[in-house]
Amino acid sequence: MTTAETGAEGSGAMTVFFSYSRADQAIALPIISLLEQAGFRVWWDGMLGAGAQYLETTEEALESARAVVVLWTETSIGSNWVRDEAMSGRERGCLVPISVDGSLPPLGFRQFQVLDLSVCKGQHDTPAARELLRAVAKLHDRDVPEMPLDAAVAPLLSPTRRNLLLAGLGGTIVVGGGFAVVSLLDSGSASAGNSIAVLPFRDDSPDAEQTYLAAGIAAELRSMLSGNQALRVIARSTSEAVQERGDDALTIARELSVDYVVEGSVRVADGVANLSADLIDGATGLGRWSRMYSQPADDLIGLQQELASAISSQLSLEISDAQGVLQLGETTVPAAFEAYLRGWQHYIDVQGHEGLGEVLVMFENAVRLDPQFAGAWAGQAAALTALGHTASSAAETQQYYARAQDAAGRAIELGPDLAEAHSLLGTILFETQLQAREAAPHYERSIELGSGSSPIEARYAAFSALTGREDAALRAIEKAMDLDPLNPTIFKEAGLVHYSARRFDRAIALHRQALSLNPDISGSHSWIGSSLIHQGDLEAALEACLLEPSRLLRTPSLAIVYHLQGNAEQAEAALGELVDSYGDAGLYQQAQVLSQWGNAGEAMLKLQNAFEIGDAGLNYLRMDPMLDPLRDRADFIDLQQRLGFTAVVAS
């Protein structure tokens, strides 16, 4: 524990207020991490929970802070919010101004010496970084915290590296405490100037039934470009989210920190498909390239590949290390390709078991039209897995999972280098069959082939976190958040990664960000509650658990909280509700409760029963803090070995 972790701030008060412009968030996050790694509790707008009153919460944090750190950049000097926050720090004598791009503070703040962090050159152990810590420590009446030589802190950003991890936008991921979620991309990743967002194409077709084509063509273009390791391609969900706001390309490029934006439109009428596409410079908002295509409507494959090839070729002129286009090359049957596009769009749009059944029919139709279409087989695997998750009986669930495994296997036979197929098969083997050993090579192959896909990165991160490979999990989830910063599911997975590593502050903030993006997302309230339980804040934990919409997740958390509060009657009632509602389907959750209640023998019996019926909850066994009271038992160690976790970590 550093000096800065002791004293009044140890109670949870945020004593450092960090002010910055949202456009500079990728620059701000590593600096926040540096402060938190040194033991300071930092408030920034990513700490806002879902539904929080921005003005009230921000003002309270600002007025109570002992240090106000202001990041002056070319962007922030024009922000009225940043100026107001800096003024508060100036008036209270606790302003710590910093800069990373040499920008002068606005008039009224130039009498203060500005710490220039641009000289850090991506390192945290520099005189400038230490001077920042010294200034903040002085305002806390403390000695300068000693940073361990092996501190796992993300490098401070050089302002020229715009391809750094963006984390989330609009209050996004939190960094601090034990590990920063933001780091320089690996040398093999996209370099500055190589980032692009493909926005959903506008549908101008008179037939509303053709809507899926516009979205599908953009999605396939995005997928093809992401196969190029020289490019950083923003994921579908984030691209669609920013477009829904109605912002122009320049605003979107700045928000996502991308160098290029692709916009387009599709019109299908009278048997002809007309497509237009524009490549827009993200720095100026000016068009760099524009094309119009006209193809027979039954030759969408040719149109898709021609567009992808043209854009990739244009990027090759603009980006020195681009490698050209990754050809789709999976089907030559236009009707199969159309059914495939329709299936994926419906998969995204539908909810419920019945709708997923319709999705399955679409992918089955694509396979019927072209049995050698690997992508359609992968689509079947995804639909069958989702159907298994929503099935009404255990027997039906296992039937769907078995079919999903077969479909994913067939996709790999036909397309050995299809990253999505390997990712899906790994997920099916691990999450539905409890086969961690067998799943591992498919996860590894998926990340080799599909490191430009946020879903693939996120699945790999979750698997790595649950099987004890912390570094791999962090690298993958960072990449996923960089590619998909407005996707609540990605932040939920990031919360899991940090919860697995016992970084509970991080987990809480990441789940809060997921909830800010989707207040109805299932699971995040429960993960927040569990994190707060481990931090000993039972009142806050109870509040969070009561908000969880999933009964399967809410009831065990409540049973644990009530027990720890000494409320035996309500604890028993919560456990009873869990058993009555889910029976053997909740065996793993029952084991969590009994473990925390101190009933180790009964908890192990539940886990053994869960293993016999293939309870998917056992995937969490290796990392689950709720099961810590059982970890030294021989039968627990044996169960962990039977699940294959030891072999995965060893490999």
Bridging pattern class, strands 232-233 and 115-116: unpaired
* Residue 392: exposure state from Cβ atoms within 10 A (0-12, 13-18, ≥19): exposed
Distances in Å between the Cα of 507 and the Cα atoms of 107, 165, 344 are 39, 18, 31
CA atoms of 582 and 578, how far apart (whole Å): 6
- The answer on pLDDT for 647 being more than 80 is no
CA atoms of 591 and 610, how far apart (whole Å): 9
Bridging pattern class, strands 287-296 and 272-281: antiparallel
| Strand partners for 262 | 198, 279
For the chain, the structural domain boundaries read 3-139, 195-320, 522-651
CA atoms of 247 and 244, how far apart (whole Å): 8
| Strand partners for 72 | 99
Name which residue leads in pLDDT, 492 or 307.
Answer: 492
pLDDT per residue over 287-304, tens digit each?
A: 877 877 777 777 666 666
- The pair phi, psi for residue 14, each rounded to 5°, is -85, 120
Position 216 scores a pLDDT of: 79
Q: How far is CA 449 from the centre of its chain?
A: 19
- The pair phi, psi for residue 48, each rounded to 5°, is -65, 125
- The answer on pLDDT for 404 being more than 90 is yes
Model confidence, pTM: 0.67
Position 631 scores a pLDDT of: 95
Percentage of the chain beyond pLDDT 90 is 44
11 pLDDT band, cuts 50/70/90, is very low
Task: Please report the sign of the dihedral spanned by the C-alpha atoms of residue 501, residue 433, residue 436, residue 478.
Answer: negative
C-alpha angle with apex 436: 491 to 628, nearest 5 degrees?
A: 70
Q: Is it true that domain 3-139 has CATH number 3.40.50.300?
A: no
C-alpha angle with apex 226: 510 to 514, nearest 5 degrees?
A: 15
Position 119 scores a pLDDT of: 58
Q: Is it true that domain 195-320 has CATH number 3.40.50.10070?
A: yes
Cβ neighbours for 124, distance < 8 A, ≥ 6 positions apart: 30, 34, 37, 147, 151, 153, 154, 155, 156
What does DSSP assign to residue 278? E
- The answer on pLDDT for 159 being more than 50 is no
* DSSP labels, 377-392: HHHHHHHHHHHHHT-S
Position 243 scores a pLDDT of: 82
Helix axes 334-349, 374-389, angle to 10 degrees: 20
By three-state DSSP, how is residue 510 classified?
helix
By three-state DSSP, how is residue 550 classified?
coil
Please say whether the beta carbons of 39 and 178 come within 8 A.
no
Among 66-70, 134-138, 183-187, 487-491, the least confident range: 183-187
Are 3-139 and 522-651 equal in CATH topology? no
100 pLDDT band, cuts 50/70/90, is confident
Distances in Å between the Cα of 245 and the Cα atoms of 100, 249, 251, 482 are 30, 11, 11, 20
Q: Three-state SS across 24-44?
A: HHHHHHHHHHHHHHCCCCEEC
Please say whether the beta carbons of 527 and 513 come within 8 A.
no
Distances in Å between the Cα of 36 and the Cα atoms of 18, 428, 450, 493 are 11, 38, 33, 22
Distances in Å between the Cα of 304 and the Cα atoms of 245, 267, 277, 307, 338 are 26, 14, 11, 5, 11
pLDDT per residue over 498-554, tens digit each?
A: 999 999 999 999 999 999 999 999 999 999 999 999 999 999 999 999 999 999 999
Q: Is it true that domain 522-651 has CATH number 1.25.40?
A: yes
Long-range pairs of 376-379 with CB within 8 A, sequence gap ≥ 24: 376/331, 376/336, 376/339, 376/340, 376/343, 377/407, 377/408, 377/410, 377/411, 377/414, 377/421, 378/407, 378/408, 378/411, 378/415, 378/418, 378/420, 378/421, 378/424, 379/340, 379/343, 379/344, 379/347
